[in-house]
Structure 1
Amino acid sequence: MLDAALKTQLKSYLEMVREPIELVATLDDGAKSVEMREMLEDIAAQSDKVSVRTDGTATRTPSFGIARVGEAARVEFAGLPLGHEFTSLVLALLHVGGHPPKEDEAVLESIAAIQEDHHFVTYMSLSCQNCPTVVQALNTMAALNPHIRHTAVEGSLFQDEITEKNVLAVPTMYLDGELFGQGRMDARDIVGKIDTGASSREAERMTAMDPFDVLVVGGGPAGASAAIYAARKGIRTGLVAERFGGQVLDTMAIENLVSVPYTEGPKLAAALEEHVNAYETEMIKGQRASALRVAGEDGLHRVEFEGGGELAARNVVLATGARWRTMGVPGEDEYRNKGVTFCPHCDGPLFKGKRVAVIGGGNSGVEAAIDLAGIVGHVTLIEFLDEMRADDVLQRKLRSLDNVDIVLGARTTEVLGDGTQVTGLVYEDRASGESRTVELQGVFVQIGLLPNTDWLRGSVELSDRGEIVIDEAGHTNVPGVFAAGDATTEPFKQIVVAMGGGSTAALSAFDHLIRTSAPAAVAS
């Protein structure tokens, strides 16, 4: 079942298991049960602290639980955790076996404090890049707290259950039989929804922290770069973010990061987080900024958060990024990263030879259509207005391409799919009211970005688009406040550009710190 290389890798990981564990399987005579038995036996063969039992009585077949010898299983997999979920399996083996998880101490304390009995069920797909974050978080909670159980269900093997619950997107989480949440969530997010007191405790902890020399607000490529460059200067550095990784987490394939021919968003985000943690940086996740109070007489800027806490710093780097402006139509969210995408530069090559649509007739939409026309089989550009708003030179270029159709005065009303990927879209002719369907495999939404800067209005200068106005060195109009990345007036919203902007902002912050903290005169 497992190839030789995977067995060798697994064997080295299982050396970290501290307590004997059992794999308790519930099987039948089906092909998937045969595969599961082989997989479990392969795992057990790599460590004398792992054994297999096949007398399980779980409600789903095939499935298996992971338990310490003598205990009931609290971590369960219904289906074969391969693909993206194999890492989830390995981590579950380690954590049930007593190897400590890599998690913030405050989160671990909150997990341990849960006293009510809970059973989580996560419906996931082996090809889903966001599912492992949820599965691993809940597995960790179950491994650490005897009051918590978690079952990860591979949706494709339990289609009747999926249909019954009308699960149309993964990951979908149920808690004690009731819908709990959908989409990417980490342990901090989950604990915060269960234990409302965790938020207030975290707010108190943050407010009590000593001021930072540099506080980075935002955890995307710009924020990570800024934190690394600041921390390397040996100054007190903090990074606070709602979710570390930002838009990168939602990117399936990245092929334009210089020197890295191919990576995936979650992998890049994990690498960035590991790099930040290699330095003495105070990282705080799961916090959304709500206000910036610029420095008063004490010289400290203060950032307030929706959870109630605040942080103080001599210098602040704003790197809160942006979110894609969406169409707001049925099917759009369901097929995001399954054909609905927002970056032609990143994802265009994945649609080579296929039919796609571009939504939006401004400069970004027309430029995207021109770029895609050289890669894909056919492009349909759909614009809401009766004319395109792009520069004339771009429009002339677009109209010269023989594999492009332009539809004006059209309102997209639905994205169609087969459950796994986009198959088409529906638009309404605004003049006649007639609905029309276009068969295609990809939809590139190019109706603009929305910077995450609403909380900054009245604190720093924003452009008419809501972007933070910066100069070439990342300065805002407020001394000691800098900015970088997609939240700013930087015209090119790319990962590598954001990284450079983050490092520039951090270096400017360090320069400002030196100049403002130096003594007025040197004693003779």
Structure 2
Amino acid sequence: MLDANMKQQLQQFLGNLREPIELVASLGDDAKSNETRELLNEIAELNDKVSASFDGDDQRKPSFEIRRASDHDASVRFAGLPMGHEFTSLVLALLWAGGHPPKVSDEVLEQARALEGDYDFEMYFSLSCQNCPDVVQALTLLAMNNKGVKATLIEGGAFKDEVDARQVMAVPAVFLNGENFANGRMNLEEILGKLDSNAGARAADKLNAKPPVEVLIVGGGPAGAAAAIYTARKGFSTSIAAERFGGQVLDTMAIENLISVPYTEGPKLATALETHVSEYDIDVINLQKAEKLIPAAQTGGYHEIVFENGGTLKARSLVLTTGARWRQLGVPGESEYANKGVAYCPHCDGPLYKGKRVAVIGGGNSGVEAAIDLANIVAHVTLVEFADELRADEVLQKKLRSMGNVEIITSAATTEITGDGQKVNGLVYKDRNTDQEKTVELEGVFVQIGLVPNTEWLRDSGIELTKFGEIEIDAKAATNIPGIFAAGDATTVPYKQIVIAMGEGAKAGLSAFDFLIRNEAPEEIAQAAQAAAEKVPA
């Protein structure tokens, strides 16, 4: 199962085990069970603190439990083989079971340990899903640190009947005590926030207790990270408040146009950004969704950002880097069948449609790339494009047209996504040349029609926005309000690319620096006013 290089790396990692762990497998007579037996034996041979047995009686076969030898309640179960993107999750589960400390704050771990109640999690992942490892690892940590929590992590491809029975059509998919709990990427803090009713209030109190900073960046993608590094390097107190650090990069698979880096993947790049930011004295405040901006002109002092939980942060200067999200079609059936056949991430959810018929909406690079990827998995792909020709790069179009199970429909306006009440069963489009409506029978629809800036929260702030919701900025990344700058996909800068967002973030950081050195701080203004008042004779 493991090649020589992987064995060598894994052996080095297992050298960090502090106490013995046990691998207990429940196997059948199938090929996957044989592969599981081989994998566990190979792992056990690499370190004498690891033992493997094959007498488990779990109903899911193949599956195996990783547990601490001294405390069987500190355990997690994998059903199927956690390879591909999940191999790292497997390695971390082994280390955490063996007492190696996770890279999570003591505060978050204490919150996990203090959680009261019984929680039985079942989570479905696919081996090609870049969003799934965060959830797998979060549930593993929760189960390892709280005896009331059980976590079973299931590779959907190995349990297709179960996936179909539960109508899992998008991953990561999490069930709690048999009921749907969440879909999509989540980390441990987010899961605890959903389980712990007091988490929001505590987070707000922490925000309100923080003193004003010189630069507050709202958003933690490439633009936000670049802006923060540049202002921190100038010696200014800097904070990042982000809904999720990494932003949309976390949802991106192959990145081949970041100059000097021939190939990387979104989660790897997000980790690299986080590592670089951590080299500086930057206060990163994650899981904070901005709700309102109050300019300094209204407060008489600092710019203020109010967050969804009610907490507030203040700063002399702001850099807005809230990015963008996938644009929705806005047609009947789209929201009703979200995660029930309507999807936005072909890498994550494509394997769930193996042998089925799907459509991709959108003929740009993202849409054509999605259609190419899906054509290698599903039975048939119908690509639907509104314009009269595809907009993707010619090299991508040529590749798509060479595939035998793809149909391309142009001049087509999607008007409805249909379903049977439980899942998608078709798509309706209007031929823009004839006005005739046509139906395509299928099981999945992947929407790839561009981005929408995350700026709704700014509409009453005084910040000028375009009719598309983009933040208006000048050549120096400045908005119409002094001391407030913006960068990245949320702005009017053309070409929404990672490398451009990084450059624009750096520019915004330098502009914030220039503003700060040319303008007095609110305290200095107040002190000057007080001094002047004291000199006035009574």
Q: Same fold (TM over 0.5)?
A: yes
Partner amino acid, structure 2, of 1:463? T
RMSD: 3.2
Worse-superposed segment, 55-64 or 150-159: 55-64
1:158 aligned residue: 159
Rounded Cα–Cα distance in structure 2 between residues aligned with 1:115 and 1:226: 40
2:508 aligned residue: 505
Q: Per the alignment, in what secondary structure is the counterpart of residue 254 of structure 2?
A: coil
Count how many residue pairs are aligned between Structure 1 and Structure 2: 489
Rounded Cα–Cα distance in structure 1 between residues aligned with 2:27 and 2:440: 45
Rounded Cα–Cα distance in structure 1 between residues aligned with 2:65 and 2:106: 27
TM-score w.r.t. length of structure 1: 0.85
2:10 aligned residue: 10
Partner amino acid, structure 2, of 1:123? Y
Q: CA deviation at 1:197?
A: 0.5
Q: Which runs of 5+ in 1 are unaligned?
A: 380-402, 417-421
Q: 1:456 aligns with which of 431, 455, 458?
A: 458
Q: Per the alignment, in what secondary structure is the counterpart of residue 67 of structure 1?
A: strand
TM-score w.r.t. length of structure 2: 0.83
Worse-superposed segment, 333-342 or 129-138: 333-342
Asked if the contact 1:219/1:246 (under 8 Å) is kept, the reply is yes
Please state if 1:310 is matched with 2:298. no
1:72 aligned residue: 72
Q: CA deviation at 1:314?
A: 1.2
Q: CA deviation at 1:111?
A: 1.0
Q: CA deviation at 1:80?
A: 1.0
Rounded Cα–Cα distance in structure 2 between residues aligned with 1:375 and 1:424: 26
Rounded Cα–Cα distance in structure 1 between residues aligned with 2:256 and 2:426: 26
- Describe the shift of the 1:18–1:261 C-alpha distance in structure 2 as closer, same or farther (beyond 3 A): same
Rounded Cα–Cα distance in structure 2 between residues aligned with 1:476 and 1:104: 36
Which deviations, in whole Å up to 9, do the C-alpha atoms of 1:75-116 show, x marking residues without a partner? 110111111111000011111211111124442232122021
Q: CA deviation at 1:367?
A: 4.0
Which deviations, in whole Å up to 9, do the C-alpha atoms of 1:430-463 show, x marking residues without a partner? 76653243999997733x5321111112321112
1:324 aligned residue: 326
Q: CA deviation at 1:262?
A: 1.7
2:532 aligned residue: none
Q: Which runs of 5+ in 2 are unaligned?
A: 351-358, 376-380, 529-538
Rounded Cα–Cα distance in structure 2 between residues aligned with 1:322 and 1:66: 39
2:401 aligned residue: 377
1:242 aligned residue: 243
Rounded Cα–Cα distance in structure 2 between residues aligned with 1:375 and 1:28: 41
Asked if the contact 1:253/1:347 (under 8 Å) is kept, the reply is no
Worse-superposed segment, 329-338 or 36-45: 329-338
Worse-superposed segment, 286-295 or 24-33: 24-33
Q: CA deviation at 1:284?
A: 1.4
Q: CA deviation at 1:157?
A: 1.8
Rounded Cα–Cα distance in structure 2 between residues aligned with 1:344 and 1:25: 46
Q: 1:413 aligns with which of 385, 392, 416?
A: 416
Which deviations, in whole Å up to 9, do the C-alpha atoms of 1:113-164 show, x marking residues without a partner? 2021211110111121111111011101111222211110112222222222
Q: CA deviation at 1:471?
A: 0.6
Q: CA deviation at 1:21?
A: 1.1
- Describe the shift of the 1:161–1:424 C-alpha distance in structure 2 as closer, same or farther (beyond 3 A): closer
1:263 aligned residue: 264
Asked if the contact 1:253/1:346 (under 8 Å) is kept, the reply is no
Q: Per the alignment, in what secondary structure is the counterpart of residue 154 of structure 2?
A: strand
Rounded Cα–Cα distance in structure 2 between residues aligned with 1:335 and 1:488: 24
Asked if the contact 2:426/2:440 (under 8 Å) is kept, the reply is yes
Rounded Cα–Cα distance in structure 2 between residues aligned with 1:287 and 1:91: 27
Q: Per the alignment, in what secondary structure is the counterpart of residue 72 of structure 2?
A: coil
Asked if the contact 1:289/1:455 (under 8 Å) is kept, the reply is yes
Q: Per the alignment, in what secondary structure is the counterpart of residue 273 of structure 1?
A: helix
Partner amino acid, structure 1, of 2:16? M
- Describe the shift of the 1:414–1:335 C-alpha distance in structure 2 as closer, same or farther (beyond 3 A): farther
Rounded Cα–Cα distance in structure 2 between residues aligned with 1:284 and 1:497: 24
2:36 aligned residue: 36
